[in-house]
A = this chain, B = another copy of it.
Amino acid sequence: MTEVEAKKPQETLQDRLAQVVELLQRHRLGEDGEYRQDNLQVEPAENYDQGQILAELQRKLDELHPADVAHILEALPLEERLTVWQLVKAERDGDILLEVSDAVRETLIADMDDHELLAAAKEMDADELADLAPELPRDVVHELMESLDAQQRERVRSALSYEEDQVGALMDFEMVTIREDVSLEVVLRYLRRLKELPGHTDKLFVVDYDGVLKGVLPIKRLLVNDPDKQVAEVMASDPVTFHPDEDAYEAAQAFERYDLVSTPVVDKGGKLIGRLTIDEMVDLIREESESEVLNMAGLREEEDIFASVWKSVRNRWAWLAVNLVTAFVASRVIGLFDGSIEKLVALAALMPIVAGIGGNSGNQTITMIVRAMALDQVGTGNTVRLLRKEVGVGLVNGLVWGGVIGTVAWWLYGSWSLGVVMTAAMTLNLLLAALMGVLIPMTLARLGRDPAMGASVMITAMTDSGGFFIFLGLATIFLL
């Protein structure tokens, strides 16, 4: 495969692209937002030279929605990715940069010179600029800010002043505002004068002359009510609002719970300063669940699947190091009992079973609890009740599975007392797993930390060291 690549890079690129395009669902939008059905595969043309193939590819790319081009870029290895990136029309660079994942965006920006970056960013709204700014070279950001008008510059500054997980960092500024003392007819005429409405406009924001939010006028109400009615009669005067310094994930949960499409963001004085929309919230929900999965597997952050070996090593390094320390501690626990193992070597073979089942069961408990805490279904006040339940589950599993394994151990090694020790050790380790599975996340929460943080590594460390200690300790006391 490497040889073929070296000889005919473009043909390979073409194959890769065809493969990626095939992965895209058939629900494909064109650049104009309408659905495209044309076959994206470049015709297999032996008489084409490379230039023609590239031109053909470019034509196909031009027809694709920016989100799809972004998807293709993410699914291509670095070299091919940059080839395709060069084919994309310069004026679409900005839209596509906003769609790709952070890790992939970094590789694309590294490939662009300041001039290209400036051009790509010129078309962006303030909130989009703020998204991109932290990853751009300093002088490009400086030049960009210079080119903005005062209001836009202020908006970018304001968006940049919030943490990534605050509402202020996710809000946009594309809003249609109206006054409450006009008729719906006037509103309809006003809308017609706008060339187009911002995406996800399901409500208009009603403000007074100082910009203070008075209410919202859902488009649904605008459409079904008599045009002679006043906005004030029809609007919802106490809508859900957010402050820019609130937790964005809580906002996302409110969107999910109340099936919202857009909401106003107001400052402490009630002045309208921006809005949140469901598309950003969906991305956030997706990212939150993903970071949970990544975190549990000990990955620090999202990784470009085609990243270099060195980058991947750095991403995975931290948790492996933690794991190494905990594994070393478990190893020292075993070391305490080397005399017992020397006398009864069966212990060495059986001890990983006790530790392994404890780890699996503890991970089940901690996953349940962390999830329920993330959904606000339980708080630290439920600790006792949850402990009672989990200890019950641990006891049942310990007696049943411990009994099974104890019987097998008896049969294998011909010692009923070894079997009893095995059953007892498994039961005790499952109880330890249940206790720790509840107490670790509850304690982290009480300390104001993220209960998911390293939960899996911590519980496995406990059930490994604990399991070895319990099993080898019991064996030393009762068998030797």
Contacts and interface: CB of A to CB of B under 8 A. Distances in A.
Interface of A: 1, 16, 19, 23-25, 27, 29, 33-37, 65, 67-68, 71, 74-75, 77, 188, 191-192, 194-197, 199-202, 219-220, 223-227, 236-242, 250-251, 253-259, 261, 278-279, 281-283, 285-286, 289-290, 292-294, 296-299, 303, 305-310, 312-313, 316-317, 319-321, 323-324, 326-328, 330-332, 334-335, 338, 341-342, 345-353, 355-357, 360-361, 363-364, 366-369, 371-372, 375-379, 381, 384-386, 389, 392-393, 396-397, 401, 404-405, 408, 464, 468
A65 B376 contact: no
B309 A331 contact: no
Nearest to A366: B297
A113 to B, nearest CB: 27
A255 B281 CA distance: 13
A370 to B, nearest CB: 9
- Residue with the greatest number of chain B CB neighbours at <10 A, chosen from A71, A77, A261, A345: A345
Given A188-B223, A197-B223, A259-B200, A367 B323 contact: no
Contacts of A194: 224
Contact of A238 (B34, B224, B327, B357): B34
Given A19-B381, A194-B224, A376-B75, A393 B316 contact: yes
Given A237-B34, A330-B352, A376-B71, A224 B195 contact: yes
Nearest to A347: B348
B197 A377 contact: no
A280 B160 CA distance: 32
A392 B289 contact: no
Contacts of A256: 282-283, 286
A309 B23 contact: no
Given A285-B282, A297-B363, A376-B23, A201 B220 contact: yes
A237 B376 CA distance: 44
Contact of A345 (B25, B201, B342): B342
Contact of A223 (B23, B33, B75, B192): B192
21 contacts: A188-B223, A192-B223, A192-B224, A192-B227, A200-B259, A202-B202, A256-B286, A278-B278, A285-B285, A289-B293, A292-B293, A305-B386, A306-B385, A310-B396, A313-B397, A324-B357, A328-B353, A338-B345, A342-B342, A342-B345, A352-B352
A320 B357 contact: yes
Chain A to chain B: the 10 pairs with minimum beta-carbon distance, closest first: A289-B289, A309-B392, A297-B367, A348-B348, A259-B279, A334-B349, A327-B356, A305-B372, A23-B376, A27-B254
A321 B408 CA distance: 14
Given A33-B236, A261-B261, 20 more contacts: A27-B251, A29-B258, A34-B237, A37-B238, A71-B257, A74-B377, A75-B376, A202-B202, A296-B296, A296-B297, A298-B360, A310-B396, A312-B393, A316-B361, A316-B397, A317-B397, A320-B357, A324-B353, A335-B349, A338-B346
B299 A364 contact: yes
A297 B370 CA distance: 12
Nearest to A15: B381
Nearest to A226: B192
Given A219-B219, A341-B345, A200 B328 contact: no
A355 B352 contact: yes
A213 to B, nearest CB: 12
Contacts of A281: 282
Given A27-B240, A236-B34, A312-B393, A367 B294 contact: yes
A74 to B, nearest CB: 5
A94 to B, nearest CB: 16
A129 to B, nearest CB: 19
Given A197-B224, A293-B296, A296-B293, A353 B338 contact: no
